[in-house]
């Protein structure tokens, strides 16, 4: 008894749109980065589901690379957060208007 691929797509869409909502409505910059992780995981679920559906390992290898890029993104993003907190002593994104004109 196998699960239809559309169920995985619906689950992935729910997680992805939750991530989009989180990026748009949260003001804590750490919560925004966590929401980006949600979106990355939604794409990973899609990749693995299609890899199983099409019996093709390319999807799983791609998830492996997505994990690599996610780790790099987290390291650089958290370093930027620490540097920002050191100069402005806040992590509320509405306080950061350095690049605004």
Contacting other proteins within 65-94 (CB under 8 A): 65, 67-76, 78-83, 85-86, 91-94
Instruction: Copy the structure tokens of residue 91.
Output: 């992590």
CA atoms of 16 and 44, how far apart (whole Å): 11
- Are 36 and 19 in contact by the 8 Å Cβ rule? The answer is yes
Q: Is 95 in the site for other proteins (CB under 8 A)?
A: no
Sites for other proteins among residues 20-59 (CB under 8 A): 20-22, 24-28, 30-31, 33-35, 37-38, 41, 44-45, 48-49, 51-58
Looking up tokens 């958290």 gives: 78
Nearest approach in angstroms of CB 7 to other proteins is 7
């Amino acid at each position: 008894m196998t699960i239809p691929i559309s169920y995985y797509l619906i689950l992935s869409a729910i997680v992805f749109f939750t991530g989009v909502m989180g990026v748009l409505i949260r003001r804590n910059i750490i919560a925004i980065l966590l929401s980006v992780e949600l979106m990355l995981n939604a794409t990973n679920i899609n990749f693995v589901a299609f890899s199983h559906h099409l019996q093709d390992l390319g999807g799983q290898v791609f998830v492996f690379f997505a994990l690599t890029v996610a780790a790099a993104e987290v390291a650089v993003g958290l370093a930027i957060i620490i540097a920002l907190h050191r100069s402005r002593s806040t992590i509320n994104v509405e306080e950061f208007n350095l690049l605004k004109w």
